[in-house]
């Protein structure tokens, strides 16, 4: 604005210089961005190869998706089972780290029904999901939490909770203990920063492990498309407004049409890889991972 005023001989109270600049649409194109996600260069977007065999596409993550084994390895690599429980809840809901850390022990307001399993059964009856209203990135949204996933989270972590709650009250008397469910072994609330740090340490032990905690969001979205569209619909790029709306509410993306098309593509490729059984492409099964996770953490101190 000030540049226009100066150019048109209006008096302005500052010295400034202007410079012509041309936006490089080719380098910043959305197509280029999405292509890198599909080709496996961005493992946080499921690292699924599009099957293109140009030199820049060939890397060790081609034709791979996060499998049952990948999920289990990361969960078991955490030194503290609370982070395994957080990761499993992220896998089953698509929540960001920020939202996971806001899960309460006892909910209030719109989350009043939230209780540990099986106490929550008295609040919601025989429903297969319950709703959780969460604030992420400054925006509120209400998403669904699978009851079997919540049961697994509580079986993994609840045996450790009550001792940690005592430590939390000692170290953080200003925090309402009912508002915090995930607490680390020394009595501090789990935060996104702590999740990042503990995931980094877990990955160091695993060595050359391409996935991160945030990979759970991409994986959830891909699984959501597979569960809500048929194989033929995935192959033909079928648009379903109800599926789009459900995915938007669950993962909290604003540019949902781009997101829908992206995960539609990933889901179709994932189905093709599953059918052809290429490499480690065991399809993610929430119940299988839950059962193994519970067994793995049952005897931890």
Class of the CATH domain delimited by 68-213+286-297: mainly alpha
Name the residue among 246, 238, 101, 247 with its Cα closest to residue 179.
101
pTM of the shown model: 0.71
**75 near 296, Cβ under 8 Å?**
yes
- 89 phi, psi to nearest 5 deg: -65, -35
Please state the separation of Cα 101 from the chain's center in Å.
13
User: Domain coordinates of the chain in residue numbers?
Assistant: 68-213+286-297
Going residue by residue through the chain, which has 301 residues, state the pLDDT in tens, using 9 for 90 and above: 888 888 888 888 877 777 776 666 554 444 444 444 434 444 443 434 333 333 333 333 333 467 777 888 898 899 999 999 999 999 989 999 999 999 999 999 999 999 999 899 998 988 999 999 999 989 999 999 999 889 989 998 999 999 999 999 999 999 999 999 999 999 999 999 999 999 999 999 998 888 899 888 888 888 888 887 777 887 777 777 777 878 888 888 766 666 777 777 777 777 766 655 444 434 455 666 667 666 666 555 4
Q: CA-CA distance, 239 to 122, in Å (whole number)?
A: 38
DSSP 53: -
Q: CA-CA distance, 285 to 289, in Å (whole number)?
A: 6
Q: CA-CA distance, 67 to 191, in Å (whole number)?
A: 26
**CA-based torsion, 278, 36, 198, 107: positive or negative:** negative
């Amino acid at each position: 604005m000030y540049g226009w005023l100066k150019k048109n001989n209006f008096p302005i109270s500052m010295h400034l210089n202007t410079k012509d600049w041309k936006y490089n649409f080719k380098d910043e194109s959305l197509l280029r961005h999405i292509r890198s996600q599909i080709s496996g260069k961005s493992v946080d977007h499921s690292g699924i190869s599009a099957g293109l065999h140009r030199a820049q596409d060939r890397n060790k993550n081609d034709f791979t998706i996060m499998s049952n084994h990948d999920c289990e390895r990361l969960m078991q690599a955490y030194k503290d089972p609370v982070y395994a429980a957080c990761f499993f809840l992220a896998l089953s809901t698509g929540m960001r780290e920020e939202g996971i850390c806001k899960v309460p022990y006892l909910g209030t307001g719109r989350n009043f029904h939230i209780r540990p399993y099986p106490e929550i059964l008295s609040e919601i009856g025989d429903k297969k999901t319950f709703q959780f209203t969460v604030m992420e990135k400054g925006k509120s949204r209400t998403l669904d939490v699978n009851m079997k996933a919540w049961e697994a989270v509580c079986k993994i972590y609840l045996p450790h909770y009550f001792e940690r709650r005592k430590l939390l009250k000692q170290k953080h008397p200003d925090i309402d203990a009912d508002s915090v469910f995930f607490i680390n072994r020394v009595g501090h609330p789990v935060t996104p920063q702590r999740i990042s740090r503990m995931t980094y340490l877990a990955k160091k032990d695993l060595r050359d492990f391409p996935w991160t905690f945030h990979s759970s969001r991409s994986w959830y979205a891909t699984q959501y498309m597979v569960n809500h569209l048929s194989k033929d619909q995935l192959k033909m790029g079928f648009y379903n407004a109800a599926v789009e709306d459900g995915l938007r509410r669950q993962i909290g993306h604003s540019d949902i049409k781009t997101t829908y098309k992206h995960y539609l593509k990933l889901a179709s490729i994932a189905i093709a890889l599953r059918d052809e059984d290429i490499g480690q492409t065991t399809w993610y099964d929430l119940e299988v991972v839950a059962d193994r996770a519970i067994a793995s953490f049952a005897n931890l101190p």
